[in-house]
Amino acid sequence: MSKVAVMRPRVAAGCAASDLRTVGRPPVVSAGGAGNGQVPYTNGAPAQASFAQAISQKVAAAPAAAQLRANAAAGVAPPMTMNQAINGTIVNHGVGITAANGPRSVAPTEGSLPEPSPPPTGAGGVRGHTNGICGGRDKAQSDELRLQEIQRTLPSHFPRRPAQGKLGRPIQLTANHFSVEIPAGNVYHYDVEIFSENNKEVKIPEKRKYRCISTKINRLVIELLVKKYRIDLGNCVPAFDGRKNLYTRRELKFRERTFAVDLEEDQRVQKFVVKIQYAATVNLDALHAVFENKVNTVPQEVLQAVDIVLRHGPSIKLTPVGRSFFKPPPPNEAHSLGGGREVWFGYYTSVRPAQWKPMLNVDMSATAFYEPLPVISFMCKIFSDGRREMTAGDFRDLRDFQNVRLNKELKGLRIKVTHLPYPRKYKVVRVTKEPAKKLYFNMEDGSRCSVADYFQSRYGRLVHPNLPCIQVGSATHPVYLPLEVCELVEGQHCKKKLDENQTSEMIKRTAQPPAKRFNEIRQSVRDLVSSSDQCLREFNIKISTEPTQLKGRVLEPPSLVFENNAVSKPREGTWELRGRHFYKAASLTRWTLLNLSRFAQRDREGQFPVQC
C-alpha cells in the first residue's frame, strides 16, 4: 500500500537541495560507537556527529586549496574529505511519512531512482568517487589530481549526496513533486519600467514582504500592453513577474522601446508609460547540462525564468501573496477568524532541481484576509469579544481608545463607497477623531458645512452621524466619508499579526487529513496548468499532473544503551526511562539557584547545597 508524503523542501545545513530525499525528517543516525546498530545514550541524547560540521569540511577546504600542493610535497596527508567525515554516520536523508504505528524515518531504496552518473574522467582515466569530494583513494594517485578534483567540485552549490543505502523495509511513496519538461533553446529576458502619467515611477517597495496591490496594477498594465501592441511584440505571449522582469520565447524586434497604455479603473483613465529594454539571453540548455553531469552549478537564471513562466497565469487570475496564490472562498464556505478576518486557501509553488530533472513542488497554503464587510460591521467585529457581539446601536460615539484601535485597523486598507451610482475605491488615510456631525469643511461658495449635513442634503439622512469619518485623498485635499457609506474591498491580505484566538481558529480551520490535503494539491496542479495553458504552450513547457512515485525504506529506530549495557528499543518515538541509568553519567560540579517565586524564602535558600 502506498504512503503519501506531503512535503515542502526544507534543506538542512549542507543538504543537497537537488535531492528529493533531503525533504522531510532529519538524517538518520547509525551506530556511533556502541556497535550492532546501538547508540550510547548519554545525558538524554544519542551520540551523533553534527551534519553541519561534516559539511563544513568541504567549505573549510576552499581557503586551503592553495596550500595543498605544498603539503603534498612535504609529505603531509591531504585533509579529510566530507565523505570520510560523515562515512558511517549519515545513512540517508529520509522522507517523513506517517505510518499506522507513528512516525518513522524513510529513505529511498537502491534502484528507486536513476543512479547518478559518475563524474567526468580526470587525467589518466581516473574517475572521482560518486559520493566523495576528492577523486581516488589510491596512494599512487597524484596530489595534483586530488587538487583538481577539489577545485572542480568547490564551485557546486550543493555537496554530493551519499550513496543509496539498503537497510530498512521497502515502501512505496507518493511525493507532492510534479515533473516539468523544459525544452532546449533560449528565452529572452527584458527589463520593464512602468511610469504613471505624472512621470513618477509606480512604486514597488522592495522592503515590503508582500506586494499584492502594486504588482496587480503592473500586471494589468502589461496585459493591456500585450493586447494593444500585439503586432509590435510579434504575437508573442510574454511572462511577467509583476515587478521588473519580462520573458519571451522569441526575441523581440527591438532592443529598447517605450509604449503608452491607458488603464481604466473606477470610471477613471490612468495613463502609463512602459519602457521595455533587452537585458539578457537565457540558455535553457544550461539546466539540461546539470542533469547530464556536465556541470555542477545549478543555473539560477534558468530556474527563475521557468518559475516566472509558471507563475504568470495564476498571478493574473488569483491573488498572489509571497510565493503562494489564493482565491476567495465560496459565500457559503467562508471561515471567519473573528475581528473581521477570514481564511483564504491557496497553494504554494516552487521549481526545484531534482536528481534527474526539474520538479515542481506544490503544497497547500492558508492565510488571513480581511472580510469584505461594511466598515461599521467591521468595527463591530473588532470590538466584539466572546461574551457579546457588538452592533452599530451600541456605539453612541467612539471613545479615544476605540478611535485609536479603529484607526490602526483601517489605515492603509482600500474601501469602496456605496452612496454613488458607480463604484469608487479609495485608500484609507486615517479615521477622524471628530464625528460626522462635528466635522466641518469649506464649501465651494466659502461657507462651512458639516459632513453629516452635507450627506443629509445631498444623499439623504445619515443613520450614525455620531460616528467618525474616514479620510481619503491627500493631506492637502482631504475627502471625508462617513463610516456607513464605506465597505472594505475584497482580496486584501491581512499583514497584521493575528491574536491568540484568531491563531487558534486558523489552526482548526487548516487542519486536514493527509488524503484530503493531497487531493487538493493535485487539484491545484490541474488549476495551475489550466490557468497557465497559453503561456506554457508559448514556451513549450509541460507539467505532469501526476505526482512523482518513489521507492523508500522504513528505517528501524536505533537501540539505546543504558547502564550495564541495558538495551531499550524506542517505539513510536518514545522509550522507557523508569529504572534506567545513563550509559555514562555526567558530574555536575557547579550549581546555580534561581528563585522566581513572588515571595522570597531567604531562610530556605541556605538549605540548598551550593558548591562554587
Q: Give the CA angle between residues 350, 22, 288 to the nearest 5°.
A: 55
Q: What is the mean pLDDT of residues 374-403?
A: 88
- Looking at residue 62, its pLDDT comes to 42
Do the strands 486-488 and 45-46 form a parallel or antiparallel pair, or are they unpaired?
Answer: unpaired
| C-alpha distance from residue 406 to each of 314, 390, 397, 599 (Å) | 34, 14, 13, 41
Range 212-217 contact pairs with CB under 8 angstroms and sequence separation of 24 or more? 212/319, 212/320, 212/321, 212/491, 212/492, 212/493, 213/414, 214/242, 215/241, 215/242, 215/243, 215/315, 215/320, 216/242, 217/263
Question: pLDDT per residue over 277-294, tens digit each?
Answer: 999 999 999 888 888 888
CA 539 to chain centre: 25
pTM for this model (two decimals): 0.66
CA 36 – CA 208 distance, rounded (Å): 54
- Residue ranges in 75-128 assigned as alpha helix (H): 82-86
Query: Which carries the bigger pLDDT value, residue 100 or residue 265?
Result: 265
Q: What percent of the chain has pLDDT over 70?
A: 69
Query: Which carries the bigger pLDDT value, residue 271 or residue 141?
Result: 271
Q: How confident is the model at residue 116 (pLDDT cuts 50, 70, 90)?
A: very low
Query: Which carries the bigger pLDDT value, residue 101 or residue 181?
Result: 181
Per-residue burial over 416-425, b if 16 or more Cβ lie within 10 Å, else e, is bbeeeeeebe
Question: pLDDT per residue over 47-98, tens digit each?
Answer: 444 434 433 444 444 444 445 444 544 444 444 433 333 333 333 333 333 3
Q: How confident is the model at residue 240 (pLDDT cuts 50, 70, 90)?
A: very high
Q: What is the mean pLDDT of residues 247-268?
A: 90
Domain ranges for the chain, please list them: 3-173, 181-336+520-543, 375-489
Residue 374 gets which letter from DSSP?
Answer: B
- Looking at residue 213, its pLDDT comes to 38
- Looking at residue 150, its pLDDT comes to 52
Question: Fold for domain 375-489?
Answer: paz domain (2.170.260)
Identify whether the C-beta of residue 286 lies closer than 8 Å to the C-beta of residue 295: yes
Say yes or no to pLDDT of 231 above 50: yes
Mean pLDDT, the chain, rounded, equals 76
CA 482 – CA 434 distance, rounded (Å): 11
Say yes or no to pLDDT of 106 above 50: no
Concatenated DSSP letters of 458-509: HT---S-TTSEEEEEE-SSSEEEEEGGGEEEPS--B--SPP-HHHHHHHHHH
- Residue ranges in 87-188 assigned as alpha helix (H): 143-153
- Looking at residue 585, its pLDDT comes to 85
- Looking at residue 61, its pLDDT comes to 43
CA 284 to chain centre: 25
- Looking at residue 331, its pLDDT comes to 81
- Looking at residue 144, its pLDDT comes to 54
Q: Give the closest residue to 554 by CA, choosing from 167, 80, 56.
A: 167
- Looking at residue 577, its pLDDT comes to 84
- Looking at residue 356, its pLDDT comes to 82
- Residue ranges in 46-170 assigned as alpha helix (H): 51-61, 65-73, 82-86, 143-153
Question: pLDDT per residue over 331-377, tens digit each?
Answer: 888 889 999 999 999 999 999 888 888 999 999 999 999 999 999 99
Say whether 356 sits in a helix, a strand or coil: coil
Q: Give the closest residue to 327 by CA, choosing from 527, 530, 544.
A: 527
CA 78 – CA 146 distance, rounded (Å): 9
Among 17-26, 266-275, 455-464, 553-562, the minimum mean pLDDT is found in 17-26
Q: CB burial class (10 A; 0-12, 13-18, 19+) of residue 43?
A: exposed
The residue whose grid cell reads 516566472 is: 308
- Looking at residue 149, its pLDDT comes to 54
Neighbouring-strand partners of residue 275: 193, 258
The winner for highest mean pLDDT among 70-84, 152-166, 221-235, 324-338 is 221-235
How many other C-beta atoms can be found within 10 angstroms of the C-beta atom of residue 215? Answer: 17
- Looking at residue 288, its pLDDT comes to 87
CA 552 to chain centre: 26
Say yes or no to pLDDT of 591 above 50: yes
Query: Which carries the bigger pLDDT value, residue 224 or residue 164?
Result: 224
- Looking at residue 374, its pLDDT comes to 95
